[in-house]
Amino acid sequence: MKYFNVTILAKGKKSIQTVEAMNKVSAVKIAKKNNPGKIVQRAVETSAPSGAQMNNLLGEFKKSFEPKIDLNNKIAAIRQIAVMTDAGISIHDAITEVAANAENPKLKKIYENIASDINAGKSIADSIEPYREEFGHIAIAMTNLGEKTGNIAGSYAKLAHILEDIRDNLKKFKKAIRTPLITFAAMGVAFTILIMVVVPKFKEMFEKFDTALPVPTQILLFLEDVLNNYGIYVLAVLASIVFIALKQYKNNKQFKYKVDKILVHPKFYLIHKIIFFSTMHKYTLVFGELVKSGIPVSEALDTAVDMVDNSYIKEKLLTVNANISRGISLSDAFEQTELFENMLLQMIRAGETGGQLDAMLGKVTEYYDSRFQDLIDNLAAYIEPIMLFFIAGLVLLMALGIFMPMWDLGKAVK
């Protein structure tokens, strides 16, 4: 939600009211509703009041602990609606049945509200629109498509298929990254315990040396002093940094853009490929399915680009629709983004010329999916050198830090 200073004119006098709304148009509508008979001149976006900022911060903090709707629950509900509407059951009765059988209380409440809105005369798309954040842009687009074509069952079946593909890729990525993360965490814990328990045993002996200690030993003693005396504060500072960074990434567009740009830079080992191929697979998958379903290319591009999380890639893809509106072909518009390989551009160009764009987009999607799957399947092999370097560095620091002073002591005794 945003805040707007709305100028109200009544009996020749101007007044300014602060209105909370999603956008400027909504702010004007709310102001007109709250001030009947008065003239609403303009709305200008402004920063949130101090009280509202604190409330928003507390609200975000509480919201972070709220359980999210599991993707499997959403897919099951969408699939159930597709099956029931295909069998001839009305959309209202289908959604009511889904709400009655939903296990997730949040999802249950949402579908109850949607069913109530449909019963009150609202369209399906208007009823689901307030829950865009919960369902995503693709769900809104497929609902609009089903309502326009009169084929909710087909649209929701395709929506379930798209969400299942996204879910399966996410599941494979989490499974592949789990072992390396556990290994790194175990090494970090082990090293911390050694620093806090083992190093103090040698500290008294090292302090008796008259000579300067080696650099590795000084590093160990410094880490031991910090962890034993200021460990809680260090942990609190690190947690604060992570929390602030995540908050900035979520709310600050410039900060998010810079981070996203760094993440997809070729020098950012491995991560840039995972983000790029997963993003492009999701984008081309949604775009291809929408085109195949009969949605105009321009509208399909808008919906597909809303599925892109990386703001740097999204900025490049947003130029595609603008270039198409200027009369540039789809393949040329994609080429100007510098995101697509020449082979893929040739395939899209051939699909445009031969009237088989949806088929070619399917092949492009398969290409990105195969590249992403290859990365995930071989993730352990890619990460192994980093893990070995990390482990070797910790072991070397510990060994040199403890044994180098002992070697010097042995020489002094001789």
CATH code: domain of residue 147: 1.20.81.30
Torsion angles phi and psi, residue 18, rounded to 5: -95, 125
> Which burial class, exposed, middle or buried, applies to 301 when counting CB atoms under 10 A from its CB (0-12, 13-18, 19+)?
buried
Using CA atoms, how far residue 263 sits from 115, 201, 311, 317, 319, in Å, is 42, 42, 11, 17, 21
Tens-digit pLDDT string for the chain (414 aa): 677 888 888 777 788 888 887 777 777 888 887 888 788 877 887 776 655 555 555 555 455 445 577 888 888 888 999 999 888 888 889 989 988 888 888 888 888 888 888 888 888 888 888 887 788 777 887 887 788 777 888 888 888 888 888 788 788 877 877 877 888 888 888 888 888 887 777 777 766 666 677 788 888 888 888 888 888 888 899 889 988 888 888 888 888 889 888 888 887 777 888 888 888 888 888 888 778 877 788 888 887 887 788 889 989 988 888 888 888 888 888 888 888 888 888 988 888 888 888 888 889 888 988 888 888 888 777 788 888 888 888 888 888 887 777 776 655 555
Domain assignment present for 95? yes
Q: Are 21 and 103 members of one domain?
A: no
Would you say residue 150 lies in a domain?
Answer: yes
- pLDDT at position 408 is 62
- Look at residue 277 and tell me if it is in a domain: no
Which of the listed residues 164, 191, 223 is the one where a domain comes to its end? 164
Can you tell me the distance from the alpha carbon of 383 to that of 390, in angstroms, rounded to the nearest whole number? 11
Is pTM beyond 0.95? Reply is: no
The closest alpha carbon to 195, from 175, 176, 209, 216, belongs to: 216
Of 102, 133, 164, at which residue does a domain stop?
Answer: 164
d(CA 305, CA 282): 9
Inside any domain, residue 90: yes
Domain boundary among 139, 164, 189: 164
Structural domain span for residue 37: 2-65
Classify residue 194 by its DSSP letter: I
Provide the 10 A C-beta neighbour count for residue 267. 6
Residues 80 and 131 in one domain: yes
Total H helices, total E strands in the chain: 19, 3
Flag whether 157 is in a domain. yes
Is 76 found in the same domain as 22?
no
Instruction: Give me the half-sphere count of Cα atoms (radius 13 Å) on the Cβ side of residue 338.
Output: 3
What is the identity of the amino acid at 128? I
Number of domains in the chain: 2
How would you class 29 by CB atoms within 10 Å of its CB: exposed for 0-12, middle for 13-18, buried for 19 or more? middle
Rounded-to-5 percentages of helix, strand, coil across the chain:
75, 5, 15
My answer on whether 32 and 12 are in the same domain is yes
Does residue 27 sit within a domain? Answer: yes
Q: How far apart are CA 405 and CA 414, in angstroms?
A: 14
Q: Which of 277, 288, 275, 282 is nearest to 363 (CA)?
A: 288
28 contacts 43 by C-beta, under 8 angstroms: yes
Burial of 32 (0-12, 13-18, 19+ CB in 10 A): middle
Report strand pairing: 39-46 vs 13-21. unpaired
- Taking the C-alpha atoms of residue 298 and residue 105, their distance in angstroms, rounded to an integer, is 37
Are residue 75 and residue 103 in the same domain, yes or no?
yes
For residues 52 and 100, state if they share a domain: no
